[in-house]
Structure 1
Amino acid sequence: MPSHRLPGLVAALLLACVALPAPAQGVLDRIKSGGRLVLAHRESSIPFSYLDAQGRPVGYAMDLCLRLAEVIRKKAGVRELGIDYLPVKASDRLAAIEQGRADLECGSTTNNAERREKVAFTVPHFIAGARLLVRANNPATRLEDLSGKTVVSTRGTTPLKVVDQLNRQHLMKLNLSEASDHQQALKQVLDGQAEAFVMDDVLLYGLIASSPSPADLKVVGRYLTTEPLAIMLPKGDTALKQVVDEEMKRLITSREIHPIYERWFMRPIPPANAALNLPMSYLLRDFWKYPTDQVPF
C-alpha cells in the first residue's frame, strides 16, 4: 500500500470507531443510577397477568416478577426501587422487551427458539398445552371436527401459528380468525362468530372461571402444543439474567413458588372470586426437579 494513503486510512478507522454506538446500559446499572424497573403485563391472561376490578395488574406471573424486582433492588444496592407498569398485548409484548420499553414481561409467553432470537427467557413458571374452548352445546371434541368452521386465536401467539400449520398441512378447511387479545377471542365464541378459540388450556380455564356464565363454555380436544411459559427479559443483559435465573431457581428448589402457585391456580381469585382448581401437572413437577432456562423447543 502506498505510504501516502496511510494518513487517510488511519483517519477513516478513527472515524469509524467514533461512529460505533455505545453499548446499551444494563438494567442493573440503570437502577444503580436511580432508574426505575419497568414490568410489562397483560390485561386478560388469567391467572398469569391481568387487571383486577380496580384496574391493577395482578396474577401468578406478576407475583413472581415482584419477587424478582426485590432481588434486583438488592443486587443494585438501592434502598428503594420504583416500578412502572406497561400494558402489552400478545402482538407487541416481544417488541416491548426487544426495544427496551420494558425490563421484564410478566405474562404467559412461550419460550421457543424463534423468540429466543430476539429476547431471553428465565426458568419456565408453567407448562401448558393448547386446546379448544367451545360453547357447552358444541359437539366438537377435536380440531378435525371443525372443518369448514371459523376458529379464532390470539394474534402473535404460538397456538395461532400451530393451527395455521395444521390447517395447511392437513387441508382441514378451517377459517382462521385473529383476535387482538384473549377477551376478544372469547367474545367471538360467545357471539357465535367462531366455533372455537384455540389457546393454552390454562388461559382458557381462567377465562371460563371469570366469565359471567361458566357453564356455557368448556375446554375440549387433545393437546396441540407443549408450551413452557416463562418471563421474558432483554437479550444480552447477562447481569440481569443471572440475577433473575438464580432467584427463579431458588424459588423452585426451596418450594417457595408452591404457595404462589396454589394462590392463583387452586384458590378463588379476582375478579369473579372463582377457583380454577388446576393442580400442578406432572410435566411441571418433573421439569422443576432440575430447573433450567434451557427448553427443547
Structure 2
Amino acid sequence: MSALANQGESVRPTLAGRALGFDLWWLPRALVLGLVAFAIFGPLANLLIWTVAERWYFPHTLPLEYGLSYWAKVFSPRGVAWESLGTSIGIALLTVLFALALAIPAGYALGRLKLPARSLILLVFLIPQAFPNLPVYVNIARFFYDVGLNGTITGVVLVHVTHGLVFAVWIATAAFAAVDAELEEAARSMGAGAFRAFRDVTLPLAMPGLMASGIFVFLESLDEFTGSFFVGAPDVTTLPLLLYTAGAGGNYQVASITALLLLVPSIAFMLVVERFLRADVLARIGH
C-alpha cells in the first residue's frame, strides 16, 4: 500500500507540471492571436469610431462628442456620396461585362485547347500587374487626352478592364480547365454542336468560377483609385476619389464613412467568392 501511495504522490507533481506546461504553452499562442486580432480589427474599430465622432483630437484617446451629423452631410442632397456610389457601381458593372466578354473565350481557349504558348499567354496577362501603376496610368492619361477619352466613363472603364483582366482570365482559365472534357465530348457525340455543348454543358459547370472571377473584377474596379484619378478626375468622381479628397482635406469623418461604404460590398462579395471558388478550381491555375 505504501508503495502505491508513494507512486500516486509522485504522479501528482508530474501531472501538475504537465498541466502547468500546457497552460504556459498557450500563453505565447494567445499573445500572437491577440496581436493578429488587434492588427486586423484595430483599424476597423478606429474607422467605426471616426464615423460617429463629432470632435476628436490629440491627446484625447476617445472622441469628445459623438453624433451622426457627418452621416447627414455625406448623404444630404448637396453631398456627392450617392452620385459617387452610383458612378462607382456603374463603372464596376461595365468593367465586369467587358472583362468577362474577353475572359470567357480566352479562358476557354487557354483552359481546354492545347495551345503551344499557353504559359506565355497567361504570363502576358500579368504584365499590367508587374509594373508600377503610376507611370503606366500617367502615359495612358496622356494618350486618352489625345483621343478624347480622358475625363469620360469609357476611359475609366477601359483602364479598369486592363487592370482587372488578369483576375478574369486566370480564374476563367482555371474554371474551364476544372470541367471534365468528357462531358462536353459526350454531348457532342449525342448530336449537339460545338456551341450548344459549350452553352449547355461547359458554361454552367464553369459558372461558379466565372462568378468568382466577375466578383474579383467588380471589387478591383470598385476600389481602384490611381487609374480613376489620372483618367477620370475631375469629371468622373468615384467613391475612392471622394475618399481621397476627404482624407487629404483632413475631414476624417467623411473619409471614414466613405471607406465604410467601400468595405461593406467587399466583405459581402468575398464571402460569396469563398462559397463558389473551390479548391479544385484554384488548383488548375497555372497548369
Tell me which interval the TM-score lies in, with the shorter structure as reference length: under 0.3
The structure with the largest strand share of the pair is 1
The structure with the largest helix share of the pair is 2
Normalization by structure 1: what TM-score? 0.22
Normalization by structure 2: what TM-score? 0.23
